Structure 1
Amino acid sequence: MGIAVGLAGALLLVTAATAGVVSSVFGGGGGGGCVGATGTGATSPVCAEVPVGGWVRPVVGEAGSGFRTGGRPGHDGVDIMAARGTVVRAVSGGVVVRVRCNVGGDSWEPTGGPMPCDSDGYPGLGGCGWYAEIRHPGDVVTRYCHLIRQPIVTVSEPVTAGQPIGHVGSSGNSSGPHLHYEVHGGYPATEENAVDPILLMRRKGVYL
């Protein structure tokens, strides 16, 4: 049995196993907006400037399939619809802890040569495609999946809020271009410590 916790009209099912995760991840504040999609640092009319130490949207687009819905109980993130090639940005400052190609149950480190994730995937293929993970203060981890090519950041590289890390694609288990975005309340990121990205981002002042 779980406890339904409301936050700005949304609900998150909190069980005994996840209560500590939710408490630790949601225990922060800070404003946020998003950086303009041009990559120049200029803002668009719908995007606020990035505050020092703030959080931003990972990509400009509409939220689609949500976190662990009734139809997709194993969906550990939120899908954000965006055109192929749209810039994907780090949501907050941290350090890159993983860059991988993941399809069909297999996973590879980048080799510098052609990789299975360089082509579009399809539903049922399995895997996150090209993805990156960033570890933020407090051991919060964010994951960015289905990128079009190898992420443009490397493991151990420090990143700042709004910094480009890759581009929207459709690699891995994907039916079309979009960003699958996850938030985890612990390091390393696991299925057990995944939390609803919409709720976490809302807590940080960012609306997906």
Structure 2
Amino acid sequence: MVSPYAGPLAGPPGPRPAFQMPVACGERWQLGTYPGHDDFDVDFFPLDGESWGRPVLASFEGTVTMAGINGTLGGRTPADPDGPRGTGGGYWVKIAHEGRWETQYLHLLEPPLVSSGDRVARGQQIGKLGSTGNSGAPHLHYEQRRGWEKVETYFDGRPSGITTDDREYTTARVSKNC
């Protein structure tokens, strides 16, 4: 179940929080996008080890505003990775951060580990990497928003380089979410 959070989001957006990658410290991940994905959307794939069930972490402290199901779940699981796709983002979490910033985390494996209204710390586990919703493989779909407008993601003060979906683009990064 998704429940709305009615927190104070009035006023102009403030400065960008010091977002970190939403994955464990020291891990190497591929960040990417592709044509038709939507501007500023970032998909995370681990470069080492198993994908299914990896911890998904809050990229900055904040308050959970949505936690539950976006669309339908489908049937892709570790036991049936080619099961039917669902719709939308599957299991997901949205977090409101200081200065009217938001982050979104989609395609989680299981129900989120947090609920609407929960305060989370940077680096706190909020879910597990999966392939629910309209997803073709286990990964994390991640977005940063200023107000309600999607913007380029920054991690550790550096831009991701993912700005449009005009072409396929990938880059590798090491998480500093320690």
Query: Which TM-score applies when normalising by structure 1?
Result: 0.58
Residues 1:195 and 2:151 are matched in the alignment: yes
Alignment of 1:41-52 (within 5 A): none
SS of residue paired to 1:128:
strand
- The residue that corresponds to 2:129 in the other structure is 168
User: Which residue matches 1:148?
Assistant: 109
Instruction: Say which SS state the counterpart of residue 96 (structure 1) adopts.
Output: strand
CA RMSD of aligned residues (A): 2.8
Maintained 8 Å contact 2:69/2:90: yes
59, 63, 77: which one pairs with 2:30? 63
Structure 2 unaligned blocks of 5 or more: 1-11, 77-82, 161-172
Q: Percent identity?
A: 29
Look up the match of 1:100. Answer: 68
For residue 100 of structure 2, the aligned residue among 93, 115, 139 is: 139
Which structure exhibits the higher relative contact order, with contacts defined as CA atoms closer than 8 Å and separated by 6 or more residues?
Answer: 2
Length-normalised TM-score, structure 2: 0.67
Residues 1:119 and 2:83 are matched in the alignment: no
**1:26-63 superposed Cα distances (whole Å, 9 cap, x missing partner):** x3475xxxxxxxxxxxxxxxxxxxxxxxx322024523
- 1:78-133 alpha-carbon deviations (Å, 9 max, x no partner): 00013100000000110000012123xxxxxxxxxxxx52732756x430110000
The 1:204–1:157 alpha-carbon spacing in structure 2 relative to 1, beyond 3 Å, is farther
What amino acid sits opposite 1:140 in the alignment? W
Whole-angstrom distance in 2 between the partners of 1:72 and 1:165:
28
More helix by share: 1
Instruction: Write out per-residue CA displacement over residues 182-207 of structure 1, whole angstroms, 9 at most, x where no aligned residue.
Output: 00101xx4xxx01122xx22536995
Q: How does 1:19-58 map to 2 (within 5 A)?
A: 24=13, 27-28=15-16, 30=18, 55-58=19-22
> For 2:102, what is the secondary structure of its paired residue?
strand
Ranges in structure 1 where 5+ consecutive residues have no aligned partner: 1-22, 31-54, 104-115
Paired residues in the alignment total 138
SS at match of 1:119: coil
Cα distance, 1:171 vs. partner?
0.3
Q: How does 1:83-94 map to 2 (within 5 A)?
A: 83-94=51-62
Q: Is the 8 A contact 1:146 1:180 kept in 2?
A: yes
Compared CA separation, residues 100 and 136, structure 1 to 2 (3 A): same
Deviates more, 1:171-180 or 1:76-85: 76-85
